[in-house]
Structure 1
Amino acid sequence: MGSFFIPSANIARVEFFSCSRSTEAMNCAVAFCLFIVAAGTTVAAAAPPVALPGCPETCGNITVPYPFGTRPGCFRDGFNLTCDETPGRPPRLFVGDGVEVVDISLPDGTVRIHSKMLGVSNSSSSLRFNGTWSTGAMLTGNLAVSTRLNRFVAMGCNLLASLVDAPAYGMDGDGSSYASVCATLCAGPDGSELSDTSCSGVGCCQTPIARGLPSYGVQLSGLADQQSSGSSSSGFGALFIAEQEWFMRKGPFLQLDYFNSEQQSIIGSTVIPVVLEWSLDTSADRDLFRGFDDPPGPGSSSRCRSLNSVIVEDGVDGSSYGRARCNCSKGFEGNPYIANGCQDINECQQPNLYPCHGTCINLLGTYRCSSKKSIDSLPGLITIIAISAGFGLLFSILGVANITNKLKQQKAKKLRKKFFKRNHGLLLQQLIISNKDSRKVEDFQLRRIRASNKQF
C-alpha cells in the first residue's frame, strides 16, 4: 500500500492518501494534488502581515499598519503614533498633540481623526480673531488635510472666515496665502429667521479647501456693512474642517442645533471627523521603493518593497513632486511596505465581491469561474490543478505514483518466484510437460486407429 504524507505547521489536521491498487495510482495522485491546492488556499487565506515583526498591529480595535507604529523601531520617521492604554479605559490612538485617530487605510492612503470646533465670541462690533487649526501632526508633509474629502465650514451670523497657509501666516502675519474663504449672513437678529439648512451662506457657509496642509491659520472677522445696517452679530462664531460625506448627512441637524440651543455648549461638545491623506518621501524613504525612476508601462519593474505591489504617484492629495505611496497590485491585499506583504486574494471565499455562477477556482492574482459544476474529464482536471498548484508539483506527484507502481510490481514478481520454489514448482512443471507429451502420443495412436478403420 502506498501513502502520501503531508506535514505542515499551517494545517491543523494531518492527512494520508493511500492507493491500494495500481489502477488507482492516477486517481490517488490527482486527489493528492487537489489536497495540496486546498491546503495552499488555506495558507493563502491567512491574514497578511500588517506591522513589522514583533510590533503591535492594533491599538484597541484600530489597526496600525506600517509605516505607522506606536513603538520605537516600528514606524517610519514622521509616522509615530501614541496608544493610550490607561487601565480602566478603552485604548485610544493619538497623533501628535492629542488628536485622536479613529481609522487608518492603506489602500486609500487615508487617516481619519476626530477634531473640535473653534468657537469665537461674536459680541464685539470690531470682531477679529487669529488662531490655528491643526491635525496634530508635524510639518513634515507626511500627513495633510484631504482637499477632495473635506470642507471648510463656518457657522454664525455676519462672519467672514478664512483658512490661510500656517507657515506663511506665522512669518508675515498678514494671512495673504489663502487656502479657503467663506462668509455667512443672517436674515434676522441672532439668526431668529434662519430657515435655510443647506449651509449655502445663510447662517452657515462651506467651501472646498484649495491646498492640503497639516495645519492652518484661521481668521475670523465681522461683516461691517451688515453690522452698520442694523443686523446683529451677537453670539458665537464656529469654525471647523469636516469630512464632506459626514457633513452632508449631519450638517443640517448640526446647524439647527447650533441656532436653537446654547451655542457654546454645541461648540464644546461636538466631535468633527476629518480625513487626512498621507504619502512618503521618495528620497528619504527610497528603501521602500524599487525601480522608482523606471518609465511606467506593462514592462516596468517599479514596485514597492513587497512583490505584487505598485507605486501610486497620481492622486496623492496635497503633495508636491517627490512624494508617493504604495498599493498592492490588483488581485492582492496586505501591506506593500513589508517584504511579501501583498498576498493573493481568494476571490472564491468572497462571493459577494467576486460573483461566480458555477465552479469558482482561485488563481494567483485572479480567479476562474467555470460554467459547469463538475469537471467532465481527467485531462481538464489535471490542467486546472497544474495552473493552481504548478506543473512541477503535479508531475512530481505523478512521478511518485509511477515509481510506487513499479516497486509494487517488482515485489509481486519476487513473491511469485519465492512461492514457486517453495511449492516444488519445478517438479510440477516437469510433470505437466511429460503429461502433455503422453497426451500427444495417445492422440497420434488414436488417429492411426481411426484411419485404419476407415479403410475397412
Structure 2
Amino acid sequence: MQKDMFHQTTIINIFLVVSLAALLYSNSAADVIAKPGCLAKCGDLTVPYPFGIGLGTNCSVGPWFDINCNTTFNPPKAFIATESLEIIDISNGTLRIKNAVAAQCFSQTGNITRENPVAIDFTGTPYSFADSNKFTVVGCDDLAVIVGSSGRNFTSGCLSLCSESEDLIDGFCTGIGCCQTPIPKGLKDFSSALGSLNNHTEVWSFDRCGYAFLGDQDIFKFRTSDFSDENFQNRTIENVPIVIDWAIGNQSCSEAKKSADYACLENSICVDYDVLGGYRCNCSRGYEGNPYLSLGCTDIDECKNNPYPCAENGICNNSPGSFSCSCKHGYSGDGKKDGRGCTAENSQFPVIKFSIGFSTVFLSIIIAMTCLYFSIQRRKLSQIEQFINEVVILTQVKNLQLLDKIVCMLI
C-alpha cells in the first residue's frame, strides 16, 4: 500500500514539474512577443508589440496600436483601438481586418430590396490600405465607384456585365460577371457605392444582387456559383480580408534614430515607409523575433535548419547572426553547398603531383625542342661554312689560272 502511494506521489510530482516548466516556457515565449507584463493573445489572435492588448494599458507603442479585446465573444475578438474594425491577423508591416461589402439587390420588377454602401477612413492614424488589395465588383448588371481623398487622391470604378449565366467563367474577373481594379499604395480612406444599368431586370433569373468590396487580391477567387450563393456577402466578409499597412510615427529612419523613442532595438534594422512617412523595424539578417522588444531578435541557429545549410560531409558552425561551414576529418574543401564542398582526401585528384609532373614534362619538351633547334642551326651553319670555303678555294684556283695566262702573255 505504501509502495503504491509512493508511486502515485512520484507521478504527481513529475506532473507538477512538467506543468511548471510548460508554464514558465509559455510566459517566456509571451515575453518575446508582447511587452513584459502584457497579454500576448486575444482569443485566437497573437498580438505582438508594438501592438498591445487593452485600451490605455501602456502595452502598445501608442494609442492607435491599442487592441480592444472584446471578451463578450467566445472566443474573444480583437478590434483596432476604439474602432469597430475587427482584426484577424497581425504581422510585421501589415494587419488584416474583416471586410465590409457594399451590396444592392433588386426585385424581379427592378425595385431595390436591399442596399448598403461602404466607407472606411484611416485619416489621422498610422494605417493605410495596402496596394495588395483590389477593388472588386461582382454582378451581371452592375457598376461601382471607389473614391478616396486622404493619403492619395483616388477615383476609379468597375463595370461588370453579362447576358446569361453561361457567359461566366470560373477564375476570370475581367468584366464578365466580375471586374477588378487596383488601388494606389498609401490610400487612407475610401467610400464605394453600387449602381445598375437596368436594375437587374434582364438578368434577375440568375443574378439578383450586385456586390462591391476592397480585399486581398490573392484571396478572392471568382466562382460562377457566387451568383446563386445567398450567403455571398457574409462569406466574403468572413473570408476575404482587407490588408492594412502600418508604420511607426511619421519620421524617416534617419530622423527617428536621433529621437529618444526610437523603436528599433538590438539586432534590428530600420526600414522607411516611403509613401506616407514613418518607419518599421525588422530583425537583422540571421536573427528572428520581435525587433521592437529588448532582446526580442534572437540568433537563428542555421545549423538546425532543414535542409542542412552546409555540403554533405560538412560541419556547420553557428555564430551570432551567421554560420560557417568546414569539412569533417578526412575530407577537404570549403564545406559550402555552393562552393567546393567536401571531398574525401584519398579520392581527391592529385592536383599538386599532377601539376609538378605536368610542369616537368612540359619543361623537358621545351629543353628538347631548344636543343633540337640549336642542333639544326649548328648543322646549317657548318654547311654554310663548308660552302664558303669551297667557293674561296674555287676562286683562288681560278685566279691562279688567270695569273698564269697573264704571265705567259708578258713573256
TM-score higher than 0.5: yes
Contact 1:334 1:342 in 2 (8 A): yes
Q: AA paired with 2:303?
A: C
Partner-residue secondary structure (3-state), 1:115: coil
1:200-241 CA distance string (max 9 Å, x none): 101110111124434311132223xxx49x955772111112
Q: Which has more radius of gyration?
A: 2
Q: AA paired with 2:215?
A: A
Structure 2 distance, partners of 1:186, 1:259, is 12
Q: Choose which of 39, 48, 71 in structure 2 pairs with 1:85.
A: 71
Contact 2:253 2:270 in 1 (8 A): no
Structure 2 distance, partners of 1:364, 1:47, is 23
Q: Choose which of 225, 247, 259 in structure 2 pairs with 1:279.
A: 247
- Tell me which residue corresponds to 1:158: 141
Matches of residues 26-425 of structure 1 in structure 2 within 5 Å?
Answer: 49-71=32-54, 72-75=57-60, 76-86=62-72, 89-95=74-80, 96-106=82-92, 109-122=93-106, 131-134=117-120, 138-147=122-131, 149-165=132-148, 177-188=153-164, 192-197=165-170, 198-223=172-197, 227=198, 231-232=202-203, 235-247=208-220, 251-252=221-222, 255-262=223-230, 265-270=231-236, 271=238, 272-283=240-251, 289-291=256-258, 304-313=263-272, 319-320=275-276, 322-352=277-307, 354=309, 357=312, 358-372=314-328
Q: AA paired with 1:323?
A: G
Query: Cα gap change, 1:129/1:181 in structure 2, threshold over 3 Å: closer, same or farther?
Result: farther
Q: Work out which structure has the larger RCO, using CA pairs closer than 8 Å and 6 or more positions apart in sequence.
A: 1
Aligned length: 292
Structure 1 distance, partners of 2:32, 2:137, is 42
Query: Cα gap change, 1:214/1:373 in structure 2, threshold over 3 Å: closer, same or farther?
Result: farther
> How far 1:278 moved relative to its partner?
0.8
Partner-residue secondary structure (3-state), 1:78: helix
Partner-residue secondary structure (3-state), 1:348: helix
Q: AA paired with 2:168?
A: S
Query: Cα gap change, 1:235/1:61 in structure 2, threshold over 3 Å: closer, same or farther?
Result: closer
Query: Cα gap change, 1:194/1:355 in structure 2, threshold over 3 Å: closer, same or farther?
Result: farther
Residue segments in structure 2 that go unaligned for 5+ positions in a row: 1-16, 18-27, 333-411
Q: TM-score, normalised by structure 2?
A: 0.61
1:161-190 CA distance string (max 9 Å, x none): 11111669xxxxxxx9534321101123xx
Structure 1 distance, partners of 2:115, 2:308, is 50
Q: AA paired with 2:157?
A: V
Contact 2:46 2:90 in 1 (8 A): yes
Structure 1 distance, partners of 2:326, 2:188, is 50
Q: TM-score, normalised by structure 1?
A: 0.56
Structure 1 distance, partners of 2:308, 2:155, is 39
> How far 1:97 moved relative to its partner?
3.3
Partner-residue secondary structure (3-state), 1:246: coil
Q: AA paired with 2:213?
A: F
Contact 1:104 1:111 in 2 (8 A): yes
Residue segments in structure 1 that go unaligned for 5+ positions in a row: 1-11, 13-44, 169-175, 293-302, 377-456
Contact 1:129 1:221 in 2 (8 A): no
Contact 1:132 1:215 in 2 (8 A): no
Q: AA paired with 1:113?
A: I
Contact 1:114 1:274 in 2 (8 A): yes
- Tell me which residue corresponds to 2:372: none
- Tell me which residue corresponds to 2:360: none
1:368-393 CA distance string (max 9 Å, x none): 122226999xxxxxxxxxxxxxxxxx
